[in-house]
Amino acid sequence: MSALFKTSSLLTAGQTAPDFELKSQDGETVSLYKALQRGWVVLFFYPKDHSPVCTTEVCTFRDAYGDFRETGAELLGISEDSEESHRAFSQKQRLPFPLLCDPGGAVAKRYGVSKALGLIPGRATFVIDPQHTVRLAYSDLLNGKAHTEKALQLLRQQHPNL
């Protein structure tokens, strides 16, 4: 794998997901571990609000939102963008899930989400079970749609009666 798309530090399945508290587009503080008390969480990191691939990615998650809710999973999107940017992006795309602000990418670093060329924030998705264990870690900077597909596939395997 080239240095451009380095993912060697990415958390892997079986590792414990680090807790965090971040502000959402509505100014609410969201805690991963509190969300996990309600069930599974799909945590996806994306580079930038309003960019073409990111818009495709978040809209693919939006369009599959009902499928995720059927499995009992909650969606949380994270980027370095501000609350204002997230609010405008969320409203424009009619997103039913929170977008969280990670200024400076501190949480992304804890999850091992590397920056492409050292500049462009990475794109990675984690499916985390209620025991705080990462069950899926997937990174693909250029294929935003695949993140939704991989996460749903794993959740459906965990809930075969759906």
Catalytic residues: 54
Pairing of strands 41-45, 29-31: unpaired
- Secondary structure element (H or E) that encloses residue 100, with its range: strand 99-101
Q: Which two tokens stand for residue 37?
A: 């008390």
11 near 111, Cβ under 8 Å? yes
Rounded Cα distance between 80 and 155, Å, is 27
For residue 146, give every residue at least 6 positions away whose Cβ sits within 8 Å of its Cβ, in sequence order, or none: 138, 140
